[in-house]
Structure 1
Amino acid sequence: MSTKVKYEMEFPIQVSPSLLYQYISTPSGLSEWFADNVNSRGEVFTFIWEGSEEKAKLLSKKSGERIKLRWLADEEEGESYFFEMRIQVDEITKDVSLMITDYAEDDEDEIKEGKMLWDNMVSDLKHVVGSV
């Protein structure tokens, strides 16, 4: 078993924080950019991509600000990895950014692939909210 390393990314996005929060915290919002379909039952979110399915447990969320999830596969293995989507608003300029925290295998290609995946997904998100 290899260890994973944490990485963080920042994506400036021109949208109101309250609207952005709907897209990162609700099954219907996440279905528009993160996965083909998303369902939730209690604290468990089910993400569906082209026939494959992954479940994630909601670890925490703060209304209008952030959501933090852990893949159930990691949880079953006793891992404490998570991914978090957090909205950051610059106090002076009021610019909005989506901050991503995630983990990837401790390998340059894996980290690069993870970042590329987030780039593509956030690009889809920007199209959905009209921030291109």
Structure 2
Amino acid sequence: MAKKQLFTLEYPVRCSPSILYEFLSTPAGMQEWFADKVDERDHVFIFSWNGAAVEKAQVVEKEQDKFIKYHWLHSSKDEYFEFRIEKTEISNQTILIIKDFAEKPDIKDQTQLWDYQVKELFHRLGN
């Protein structure tokens, strides 16, 4: 299996970091845009799509209103996906930064998937 590469995506968001963080770090928030059903037990999020596909991700690290990092339990130890919230200094705009891993030929498809998911998130946020 080819080694996956880290890639980073950035999206400007029109909402406060605290509201955005709720959508990135809680089962109720994640269920609004990321998966059809989301549960959490002992810092492990259980995501399901279409009533069947189930994936589990453990919260590795987090800081309120700043970032949350997840590790898919089926992935290698050094792979993760992360949501980071930053504010630009000049315009004070909120930026959502997503870091994820994919094999090089799949990065474009993964980027499109994230674009779709983030579009759904923005719809829920009223952006």
Q: Secondary structure at the match of 1:3?
A: coil
Matching residue of 2:36: 36
Matched, 1:69 2:70: yes
Q: Equivalent residue for 2:27?
A: 27
Q: Name 2:3's counterpart in structure 1.
A: 3
TM-aligned CA deviation for residue 106 of structure 1 = 2.3
Asked if 1:118 is matched to 2:114, the reply is yes
State the partner residue of 1:100: 98
Runs of 4+ in 1 over 2 A off after TM superposition: none
Aligned residue-pair number: 126
Superposed CA RMSD: 0.8
Aligned counterpart for 1:127 among listed residues 119, 123, 126: 123
Match for 2:92: what amino acid?
Answer: K
Q: What per-residue deviation string (whole Å, max 9, x for no partner) do you get for residues 76-128 of structure 1? A: xx431000001111122110110000000122xx1001000000000000000
The DSSP-based 3-state class of the residue aligned with 1:119 is: helix
CA distance in structure 2 between the partners assigned to 1:12 and 1:92 by the alignment: 14
Q: In the aligned structure 2, how far is the partner of 1:91 from the partner of 1:4?
A: 33
Unaligned runs of 5+ in 2: none
Q: Which residue number in structure 1 is paired with residue 87 of structure 2?
A: 89
Distance 1:92 1:22 in 2: 25
